[in-house]
Amino acid sequence: MKKRSSSFTVIGLLFVAIGLTLVNDNMYLKYGFLILGTAFLLYSISTMIKNK
C-alpha cells in the first residue's frame, strides 16, 4: 500500500506542476489540473495517516 500511496503523491505533484505552468492557457484546463493534483495529494496524505 505504501508504493501505491507514493505513486499517488508523485502523480499529484505532477498535475499541480502542470497546472501551475499553464499560465495563459485555458482557465478550465489549468484549474482542472490543479484540482485533480490536489485531490491525488489529499488522497495520498489521508492514506498515509490512516495506515499509521
Instruction: Supply the pTM of this predicted model.
Output: 0.74
DSSP string, 3-16: HHHHHHHHHHHHHH
- Copy the grid coordinates of residue 6: 507514493
pLDDT tens string 3-51: 666 788 888 888 888 888 887 778 888 888 889 989 988 888 888 888 7
Please tell me the distance from the alpha carbon of residue 6 to that of residue 15, in angstroms, as a whole number.
Answer: 14
Q: How many CA atoms lie within 13 A of 43 on its CB side?
A: 17
Structural domain count of the chain: 1
Name the residue range of residue 25's domain.
Answer: 2-51
C-alpha cell at 21: 505552468
Per-residue confidence (pLDDT) for residue 18, from 0 to 100? 85
